[in-house]
A and B are shown apart, each in its own frame.
Chain A
Amino acid sequence: MRVKVLYASFKTDLKAFGRSKGTLFWTLAFPVMLILMFGAIFSGADEVEYSLTVIDYDQTTMSETFINILNQTGIINVNVVEVEEEQILTYIEDNELKRLVTIPEGFEQSIGMVQMGFDENATTTISYYFDQSEQQTNSILRSVISSIVIELNMNVSGGKEIIHVDDIETVSGDFDFIDFFLPGMIGFTIMQTCIYGSLERNTKYRKDGILRKLLTTPITRSEWIISKMLFQLFLSFVSAVLIIVVGIGIYGLNIHINLLMIILVIATSFLFTGLGMLIGRFVRDEESAGMAGGAVTFPMMFLAGTFFPLEQMPGFLQTVAKVLPLYYVNEGFRNAMIYLKTDTAIFHTSMVLVFAVVFFIGGLLLTKWKED
């Protein structure tokens, strides 16, 4: 293994990549465009009336009035429930609530104390629990609640702050579409770059005589494969980082970068490079290889839950998804970087690793390096 050769090959790949507008577009700009497009289509349009769960620990006329005012705004649909105070977070998680308000015990009493002049400094605090991933909706609701509270304070005490609002962030099990979509885009983009990169090397390079030429030079097969894999990995990381930057910068997503995610990027690159080699083995000419690549990636993209949750699909399609490698890639990325469900992420990552080993080794063994 000669580092000099690996470096020379990497450098030429990088140069060629930088000069190909098409490849740059499909690898970098296209995924970002898709994210922005889907983000625009699916965000904001999901709710016109926002649901708000309220727990009333005060159970008084004053607390009831507050709830009524919330309801009368026309954009908040209040759902009053009874939950023990210690159970609030569990309740939010179990019911995948995006937001919840609690009215504390003594709400009416505190207001009364100020109004009657018994205690001018009495206060009461309303807690607003909200899911940090729902920034846009939450800020709307937060401003609605704030304005109600300001009005109440005005009416009761001439502007004195009796009622406070306490913001409590929660990480609920319910995420936005963009949370779901963005990790899928990472999987999808790595799949595209690796399959098409691999196909190019196995069909175009074969047709152009580059593979034949290389066979007669001292470059070894492992030097060639490793140098190409290094470049593929580089591209995969560039795509992943770009998508994450867009996610954080534009959508304010709470993305966690961890070891599992890095393993997933690497395993996914090997998986789809291997799959590309397998396709290239059976479809030798460049054009049909492109079509074959599309025939594999396109249905997989939809069936493996890249754009839409599997739950929205018919039962048999959900079963189909479970045999598709991209499904495990998508779910792995989601669980590792967004949902933080480590156990599930480890399972998905392991599945991706198994697929990667099978496809990559299969690709290596079945690729014909020499001519017949």
Chain B
Amino acid sequence: MSEKKVQCPKCGNAITVAGNPGEVVRITCPSCRTEGKVTFKKTIPKGDVAIEVFNLKKVYGDLIAVNDISFAVRKGEVFAFLGPNGAGKTTTVEMIEAIRQPTAGAVRILGRDIEESFDDVKEKIGILPQEFHSFERLTVKETLDFFSKLYKKRASIDEIISQMDLEDEANKLYMNLSGGLKQRVGVAISLVNDPDIIFLDEPTTGLDPKARREVWEVIAGLRNRGKTIFLTTHYMEEAEYLADHIAIIHKGKIIAEGTLEALISKHGQGSILHIKNCKTKEAVDILQNHGFNAFKEGNGDISVRIPSKERVLEILSILRHECIDYDSIDIRRSNLEEVFLNLTGAKLSENGQ
């Protein structure tokens, strides 16, 4: 349990809040009764850190591509770096991979500064660059064999092939594979040195939903084997499905960071209870009288915002007591899309714009 001092945004009153790392505490200002939330950031013990980024910055002329960002990735987690195209995701990940020179800032991988000892770090990381396309006229096996020869430590190629479910493709030329298989080979290449950390830069961009799912399963499998995964993506669903920790980058800045739950509870609008085909005309008024934010949808449905999960039962008992007639109800959870919309005022489209 730690303490944090915050200031009420309305009246400026100083408030002391106590909470555990990772916890989001709801508070009410004692003087003006304004409600708010305070997030207690998780602090990662030194030995558990895989990647640390300190005040990283990249400037191209007048453009600040990455603006003074800092974050840490915990060992064994899938860390999703989520943001639209041009937000600075790839620039950041390539600075971490020492492919690009930062304008300012520092990166430590497994406790070592990459500026000083990237050559040693290379043996412990595996990378799938953005839009990677391997040697066209080598077979999958030959490709893996070539890349594995570059490292001191080598994983068994046959094992990787079977883990990635590429047995049928092992002797096919890379150029003859489908997009999804090519990406799987790309991930497989990043495993040839049995790395501790794997960087996957937009691994499913351009894939159809089925192929995307397959790559997700591969990534989930890697996490289950204890690998740390740094994933950049502009797919909300991908981050929701895979990530243990999400950092949202927008215009070169990290605008929010945390677990999916924490991000939704902090930046989402809460869940919505959906009453389908409500036949009682006064239903909205009744719910509003009970202090709920309820509103009519165009098709006769009613939506009720759920302020906290404890109050779902309350809504249900009102519906029963007031004999409100309806077909069915469901609860739609707030998601990352809503978080992103709330934070940036814009939707993140399928193609990352």
Residues of A bordering B, CB below 8 Å: 4-5, 8-9, 11-12, 15-16, 19-20, 207-210, 212-219, 370-372
Contacts and interface: CB of A to CB of B under 8 A. Distances in A.
Nearest to B190: A213
B138 A209 contact: no
B146 A209 contact: no
A209 B136 CA distance: 13
Given A16-B136, A371-B94, 8 more contacts: A208-B134, A210-B133, A212-B97, A212-B99, A215-B98, A216-B129, A217-B122, A218-B152
A197 to B, nearest CB: 14
B138 A16 contact: yes
Given A217-B151, A218-B150, A372 B129 contact: no
A209 B130 contact: yes
22 contacts: A8-B146, A9-B146, A11-B146, A12-B135, A12-B146, A15-B138, A15-B142, A16-B136, A20-B137, A207-B131, A209-B130, A213-B189, A215-B97, A216-B99, A216-B122, A216-B127, A217-B122, A218-B119, A218-B123, A370-B99, A370-B100, A371-B99
B149 A8 contact: yes
B194 to A, nearest CB: 14
A124 B177 CA distance: 79
Contact of A213 (B127, B145, B151): B127
Nearest to A18: B137
How extensive is the interface on chain B, given as a class? 20 to 34
A138 to B, nearest CB: 48
Given A4-B149, A208-B133, A209-B130, A216 B97 contact: yes
Contact of A216 (B98, B135, B138): B98
Interface of B: 60, 94, 97-101, 119, 122-123, 125, 127, 129-138, 142, 145-147, 149-152, 173, 189
A5 B135 contact: no
Contact of B125 (A15, A19, A216, A371): A216
Contacts of A8: 145-146, 149-150
Given A16-B138, A20-B137, A370-B99, A218 B151 contact: yes
Interface centre among B135, B145, B149 (most CB of A within 10 A): B149
A43 B136 CA distance: 42
Given A4-B149, A5-B150, A217-B147, A16 B137 contact: yes
A104 to B, nearest CB: 67
A15 B137 CA distance: 8
A8 B137 CA distance: 15
Nearest to B189: A213
Nearest to B118: A216
A313 B129 CA distance: 51
Contact of A210 (B99, B101, B134, B149): B134
Contacts of B133: 207-210
B147 A372 contact: no
Contacts of B60: 372
A25 B319 CA distance: 79
B163 to A, nearest CB: 20
B90 to A, nearest CB: 9
